[in-house]
Amino acid sequence: MTSNIGFRMMAFGFKIRDFLNPRQNSVKEVGLKPGFHVIDYGCGPGSYVLPVSEAIGSSGRLYALDINHLALEMVEKIAAKKKLKNVITIQSDCGTGLHDEELDVALLYDVFHDIADQNAVLNELQRVLKPNGVLSFSDHHLKENEIISKVTSTGLFKLQKINKYTYTFSKQTAKSSNWML
């Protein structure tokens, strides 16, 4: 886990990144719709909170999950300042506490390389995604072949599309994949 000062420095760096390359660019690729339930897994300082919250509207839900309490405090400040009533924070290093097949979309952006038990996180995201749910993935620390291999090797997800900023993976179920009997 990053120290408080390290996290604050990272958050400042993200503000510069977000100015140069607005997060709306990635969010547009996901195809979010009003009423969607979404998790921003490893939400950090909340770069995606506003664009996702606006895309899913008041009938949607955005779960912002992070292990770092400072990240969640920043997300809560954004939500309060912008009067976003559809944002819920979750502090965790893996489990979401959500029901099976509750979410339409899982965002896994720029955090996968830091996750100790990547397969546990993929299992959790597969569990909480609806049968037609998607995993939107981006991690500039990994090469394209690493991303595709790591996410698809468990058989939980199948590459659906390579976008300009993100990779879209579809949830695999026992009926939709050949990896299970």
The answer to whether residue 16 is domain-embedded is yes
What is the average per-residue pLDDT within 162-176? Answer: 86
Instruction: Report CA 5 to chain centroid distance, whole Å.
Output: 24
pLDDT digits (tens, 9 = 90+) for 14-68: 555 555 555 568 889 999 999 999 999 999 889 999 999 999 999 999 999 999 9
The answer to whether residue 30 is domain-embedded is yes
User: CA-based angle 86:130:82, to the nearest 5?
Assistant: 15
The answer to whether residue 57 is domain-embedded is yes
The domain that holds 74 is classified in CATH as 3.40.50.150
The answer to whether residue 181 is domain-embedded is no
The answer to whether residue 88 is domain-embedded is yes
pTM of the model: 0.86
- Strand extents, DSSP E, 47-140: 61-66, 87-91, 103-109, 129-138
Tokens found for residue 159: 């590459």
The answer to whether residue 176 is domain-embedded is no
The total number of structural domains that make up the chain: 1
The answer to whether residue 82 is domain-embedded is yes
Domain that holds residue 154: 4-171
The answer to whether residue 178 is domain-embedded is no
pLDDT digits (tens, 9 = 90+) for 99-110: 999 999 999 998
